[in-house]
């Protein structure tokens, strides 16, 4: 019910699946799609109106742990530099930048899953940008595909609350410090993972968010601490980096 209240237009609400129905939910007028099984997983891809101007195209939400932060208030000094920006959302950055405005996109069904697709390039020469969530038993498969005419640096972001641990080593690294979008990233560490990377985010309520990167050797990997809401709290951030004309990010999520 809360999802429909926040994101559905009246006409969409009237045809929404019943609560006991486990099928995906698509609210195309607001570029919002949700998987309800095996757990709630949301794709939210911006809308071109005055009520929501966050640069969150192709963003993922796993409420209430890997959530959209909203803002601490429009007068807050970090609203423009963090809360409304792409780099505070679970999305992708291209060459350390973000679009100058919310761009056209749409959501659609994709087999048993959901997909968000950009209808305008997030940067010049980017021909394809899409993200697909597919339920696989107790997990959700996340696949993001980006294709361009020229070389780019693609940074895939995942922010989550909880106590963080992983099955790989890391060391301090300043590779992100040259980009303004990473100004709020603290304790940046480069991860050494030769195989599958498994990250856990243990929550105070006893649940654990598990993020698995099956082929970790395909990425440069970083972790960091980033602002939560309120801004004096911190979340843990996982960053996967690919350099090339094409990038495909493949990740699995589980709630234990």
Rg, C-alpha atoms of the chain: 17
- Say if CB 157 and CB 90 are below 8 A apart: yes
Average pLDDT on 174-202 reads 92
Does residue 176 or residue 136 have the better pLDDT? Answer: 136
Summarize pLDDT for 205-238 with one digit per residue, the tens.
999 999 999 999 999 999 999 999 988 999 999 9
> In which band, very low, low, confident or very high, does the pLDDT at 23 lie, cut at 50, 70 and 90?
confident
As a whole number of angstroms, the distance between CA 154 and CA 25 comes to 29
Q: Is the pLDDT of residue 11 over 80?
A: no
Class of residue 78 by CB neighbours under 10 A (exposed 0-12, middle 13-18, buried 19+): middle
Q: Which long-range contacts (CB under 8 A, 24 or more apart) does 37-41 make?
A: 37/135, 38/135, 38/137, 38/138, 38/139, 38/140, 38/255, 39/140, 39/255, 40/3, 41/133, 41/140, 41/253
| pLDDT of amino acid 5 | 43
How far is residue 173's CA from residue 239's CA, in Å, rounded to a whole number? Answer: 13
CB 183 within 8 A of CB 176: no
| pLDDT for position 53 | 59
For residue 224, which of 211, 216, 235, 213 has the smallest C-alpha distance? Answer: 235
- Of the listed ranges 67-71, 106-110, 184-188, the least confidently predicted one is 67-71
pLDDT of residue 83 exceeding 80: no
């Amino acid at each position: 019910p809360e999802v429909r209240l926040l994101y559905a237009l009246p006409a969409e609400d009237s045809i929404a699946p019943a609560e006991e129905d486990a099928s995906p939910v698509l609210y195309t007028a607001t570029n919002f799609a949700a998987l309800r099984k095996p757990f709630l997983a949301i794709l939210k891809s911006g809308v071109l109106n005055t009520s929501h101007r966050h640069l969150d195209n192709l963003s993922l939400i796993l409420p209430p742990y890997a959530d959209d932060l909203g803002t601490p208030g429009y007068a807050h000094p970090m609203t423009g530099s963090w809360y409304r920006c792409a780099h505070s959302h679970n999305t992708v950055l291209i060459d350390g930048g973000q679009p100058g405005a919310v761009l056209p996109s749409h959501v659609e069904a994709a087999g048993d899953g959901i997909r968000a697709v950009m209808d305008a390039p997030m940067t010049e020469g980017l021909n394809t940008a899409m993200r697909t969530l597919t339920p696989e038993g107790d997990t959700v498969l996340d696949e993001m595909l980006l294709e361009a005419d020229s070389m780019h640096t693609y940074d895939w972001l995942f922010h989550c609350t909880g106590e963080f641990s992983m099955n790989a080593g890391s060391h301090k690294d300043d590779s992100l410090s040259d980009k303004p979008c990473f100004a709020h990233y603290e304790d940046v560490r480069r991860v050494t993972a030769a195989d599958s990377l498994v990250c856990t985010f243990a929550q105070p309520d006893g649940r654990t968010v598990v993020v698995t990167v099956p082929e970790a050797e395909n990425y440069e990997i970083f972790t960091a601490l980033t602002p939560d809401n309120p801004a004096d709290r911190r979340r843990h951030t996982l960053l996967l980096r690919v350099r090339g004309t094409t990038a495909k990010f493949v990740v699995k999520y589980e709630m234990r």
